[in-house]
Amino acid sequence: MQKPKRKDAAPSAAVKVRDGAAVRPRPRPRRPHALYTPAEVEEIFRRFAVQRPEPKGELEHVNAFTLLVAVVLSAQATDAGVNKATQALFKAADTPQKMVALGEEAVGEMIRTIGLWRAKAKNVIALSQALLRDHGGAVPDDREALVKLPGVGRKTANVVLNMAFGQPTMAVDTHIFRIGNRLGLAPGKTPEQVEAGLVRIIPQKYMRHAHHWLILHGRYVCKARKPECPRCVIADICKAAEKTTDIPAPLVEIAPVPDAVAEDVG
């Protein structure tokens, strides 16, 4: 027979006391989970690897510094538009020293066709100065150092770490954020949540190129306005509510899109 609880018994450890009253803590929100089994995730990225064995970013650059500048300029702009603007810019300045010597006004004139060009020109000069002042003119291979540079956020840092230094990072842009949620591959309300979800489920052997595969898939197949499901090589695995077919496209290697027609179509 159980003994009756004493009326003056202290609350359990899980219960906090506030203003003389016991208050139970709110349950932690559950982290959204992928809708796919590990075997399904493995197959998705195996097919992407067959389709594009060596995926490349579409921003033109000649070294780590020009890559960093190009990614900063690409915010709210198409890759094609950035490439047109940086052709002359990178011929004139492909190092932080040359960029600072060029000056903010000249940089602005060269990138006027890009959205928010005034603010971006200011950031390009400021980050060039910071590289010279704090890093001897070299682009650091450390995320914490990169995000301290003017105009550089986590996504930009991840792109540079991946493309310039070969680190297995996941740079979540608008395409990857859409795919992570649309497919239920890595649901999340923020880019950071989607990034964490993808890093958690993608096999390590695929992480080197995973962010490029997802970006290119979102740019050319799983488009924002109207996904082209008949062209999708993972249509039979995909769990997106709006998909229009369960028949996957033929799994063949495809050639990279020429720079002249490469465009970020949102």
Active site residue 120: no
SS3 content of the chain, % helix, strand, coil (to 5): 50, 0, 50
Give the active site residue among 79, 120, 155, 264. Answer: 155
How far is it, in rounded angstroms, from Cα 158 to Cα 67?
Answer: 12
Which of 46, 120, 114 is closest to 80 using CA atoms? 114
Give the active site residue among 84, 98, 141, 173. Answer: 173
Q: Which residue has the tokens 């590990």?
A: 38
Supply 27's token pair: 């349950």
Angle of helix 64-73 relative to helix 154-165, nearest 10 degrees, comes to: 150
Cβ proximity of 157 and 146 under 8 Å: yes
Phi, psi of 183 (to 5 degrees): -85, -15
Which residues are part of the catalytic machinery? Answer: 155, 173
